[in-house]
Amino acid sequence: MSVKYESPSKEVSTSSTQGRNLFSRKKKPQIGLNAINIKSARITLIPVFVLLFVFLALPMINSVKLSFSRWGGLGPLEPVGFDNYKFLFSDTQMRYSSRITIFYAFTVAFFVVAIGTLLAAAVSANVRGHKAMKLIWFFPGIAPPTAVAIFWSSGFQPESGVVNILLGKIGLGSDHAWLASSDTALLPVIFVGVWSAVGFAFLVILGAVEQIPVSLREAALVDGANMRQQFTKITLPLIRPILMTIFTLEIIWTFNGFTVVWAMTTGGPSDSTSILPILAYKEAFRYGRFGTAAAMAVITGIFLMVVGTIGIRLSRSEQQ
Amino acid sequence: MRALINKFFAQLGVWGWTALVLIPFFFIMLFGTKDTSDIYGRPLNLVYKPQWSNFSSAWNVGGVNGAIGHWFINTGILVTTALFVSLVIAVPAAYFTIFLPPKANRRVMVTVLSGTVVPTILLVIPYFKAYNQYHMLNKPIFAGLAYGVLAIPTTFLLMNRFFLDFPREVLEAGLLDGLSNSKIFRKLVLPLSVGQIVSVGILTLIWAWGDSQIAIVLLQSQESQPISVGMLSFAADFTTNLGATFAGLTMAAIPPVILYIILSKYVTKGIALGGITK
């Protein structure tokens, strides 16, 4: 089987050169290289697949099984059929949580991609200080989410919080108690979600922008386009596939995002910021209703897989 | 003129964002060294007597001697295990997979890729159940094992992509020199891949260091918690001692940032290479 086999880099990667393939075919040492290594490949892949099966596939199957059962944390599972799902579909908190989770995920993802794109455009236009900014803008992505979330939740407190102090200094009042009210508690959480995720999106988008040949952008300038036109007519269309990908990923990550919300509000006040991962966590580990929690997890998982598939399809079709 | 205005707004925008990014880090360090009554009374005052005792109060949070120290050790054990598992399992497999026929290689990649999209929420309850059953709860090393396995797909994909572009001439030269296949991997390939391995490892490190969703379930007892979970009880313990709270936040948030500044070359590279698959 190794005789038929050419260089894999010819098939899969784009950076291999013709000369390299010619060279290796003439000498033919790769027959020996491949034959023995295929055996090594099989051996080294075994632990990969075993571990992924034990830590990913099995738990997923168990979650589905659990979602059709009642279980309080001890003893055997008690099968209950579709009861957990029936309960969740008529539960007002579940409906509310699904709604705010979707709202939260899409809002954060939208602002992250929008701000990340604007910052990448500014840096690729060589604004002053862009080297240092590139470094600094990833700070929020590197600091532990728990720590920054605790900082911001203290910052949003009325009077003593940094945000309120600064707003007070510029005359906008220092007594905003956003986190204390069910109507407004989600806003600071969205802000922190955006704040901490922009750095990563920015770096990925910048990477895509920098891959656009300089000659293309220069040609546009020669043709009389200004900076803004160059951005909207050349850069933006070319990076749209990557924007779609990162938008999808941000939705998935924010949807899953437990730490920021938990550290800021633990889902409160009165469950107004309980996105689905938090609702499921509380259901299982606070109230000991593991069956309903698993059903929530399964519903969330199905939703995310649908979003992921649509997102990947869209970004693929844009690439073609 | 128009271009000048555009440029002005671009400059204003990037400075504004930079300020917004730096505000928390500045205030965490400022308040961490201030007396609590000072934080309430004159929060923005930059001339003050540093209150270093905040750090010792924070260090012994919850009346437990050296509580933060324990959390750091637990995080250290967890992150080291995760890095060890993900790299030792995924890197050799990612290398030897490149010798499979392209079709088989792609099939392996797609299978592994599907592992990156499983939502954590689907995993934590079964993890809790299994860990409880096998007496693995409240042990950072076993929590690290879970993090390590969950990091395998990303590690594998990024390393596989890297090895596919690895110059074949180097491998063939090794073969002509009479090196065995495993020696070629250890003596030739690994030393030339250090940069890539560091980049990929840092992605795992950032994630395992900061995540709390798995750790909060698998490490429930106070003395087994990593810093990401321990901090959660922190704010509640110190509502009256803001200075100590911020001193604690300083200890948790500033070391990763400094580490990042030192290693930023690798971090940026890791993300540019496709860290988006995490």
Asked if B125's CB is within 8 angstroms of A66's CB, the reply is: yes
> CA A202 to CA A138: how far, in whole Å?
9
Query: Which residue does chain A place closest to B264, by CA atoms?
Result: A135
Question: In the numeric block, which tokens belong to residue A315?
Answer: 């970004």
Q: Which of B10, B93, B129 sits opposite A125 (nearest CB)?
A: B10
CATH architecture of the domain with range B2-277: Orthogonal Bundle (1.10)
Among B121, B165, B188, B271, the strongest candidate for a mutation testing the A interface, having the largest count of A CBs within 10 A, is B121
Asked if A133's CB is within 8 angstroms of B14's CB, the reply is: yes
Residue A179: per-residue pLDDT:
87
Rounded to a whole number of angstroms, the distance from the CA of A271 to the nearest CA of chain B is: 18
Alpha helices in chain B (DSSP H): 2-32, 36-41, 53-59, 67-97, 102-114, 121-133, 140-164, 168-176, 181-183, 190-192, 194-210, 215-218, 227-237, 242-272
Asked if A301's CB is within 8 angstroms of B119's CB, the reply is: yes
Asked if B169's CB is within 8 angstroms of A23's CB, the reply is: yes
Q: Over the stretch A74-89, which tens digit does the pLDDT of each residue have?
A: 888 888 989 999 999 9
Residue B69: per-residue pLDDT:
86
Give, rounded to a whole angstrom, the gap between the first and last alpha carbons of chain B: 44
Q: Which of A58, A152, A207 sits opposite B24 (nearest CB)?
A: A152
Residue B151: strand, helix, or coil: helix
Asked if B28's CB is within 8 angstroms of A142's CB, the reply is: no
Q: Is the omega angle on the peptide bond into residue B102 within 30 degrees of 0, that is, cis?
A: no
The number of C-beta contacts closer than 8 angstroms across A and B is 318
Chain B contacts of A203, Cβ < 8 Å?
268, 271-272
pLDDT, mean of residues A311-320 = 70
Residue A28: per-residue pLDDT:
40
Q: Which of B101, B260, B272 sits opposite A142 (nearest CB)?
A: B260
Residue range A85-319 in CATH 1.10.3720.10:
yes
Chain A contacts of B227, Cβ < 8 Å?
144, 146
Q: Which of B14, B101, B211 sits opposite A1 (nearest CB)?
A: B101
> CA B73 to CA A151: how far, in whole Å?
23
Rg, C-alpha atoms of chain A = 25
Q: Over the stretch B113-123, which tens digit does the pLDDT of each residue have?
A: 887 778 888 89
- Is B17 in CB contact (< 8 Å) with chain A? yes
Question: B228, B90, B85: which is closest to B146 by C-alpha?
Answer: B85
Asked if A144's CB is within 8 angstroms of B252's CB, the reply is: yes
Question: B204, B264, B242, B229: which is closest to B82 by C-alpha?
Answer: B204
**Lowest-confidence region among A141-150, A266-275, A307-316, B248-257:** A307-316
Q: Over the stretch A89-105, which tens digit does the pLDDT of each residue have?
A: 999 999 999 999 999 99
Asked if B261's CB is within 8 angstroms of A135's CB, the reply is: yes
Q: Over the stretch B61-85, which tens digit does the pLDDT of each residue have?
A: 766 777 888 899 999 999 999 999 9
Domain ranges of chain A: 8-67, 85-319
Rounded to a whole number of angstroms, the distance from the CA of B143 to the nearest CA of chain A is: 12
Question: In the numeric block, which tokens belong to residue A190?
Answer: 């969205």
- Is A145 in CB contact (< 8 Å) with chain B? yes
- Is B76 in CB contact (< 8 Å) with chain A? no
Domain ranges of chain B: 2-277
Give me the residue label for tokens 């030393």.
B191
Q: Over the stretch A269-308, which tens digit does the pLDDT of each residue have?
A: 889 999 999 999 999 999 999 999 999 999 998 888 888 8
Residue B2: per-residue pLDDT:
67
Q: What is the ipTM of this complex?
A: 0.89
- Is B120 in CB contact (< 8 Å) with chain A? yes
Residue B252: per-residue pLDDT:
86
Among B26, B120, B125, the strongest candidate for a mutation testing the A interface, having the largest count of A CBs within 10 A, is B125
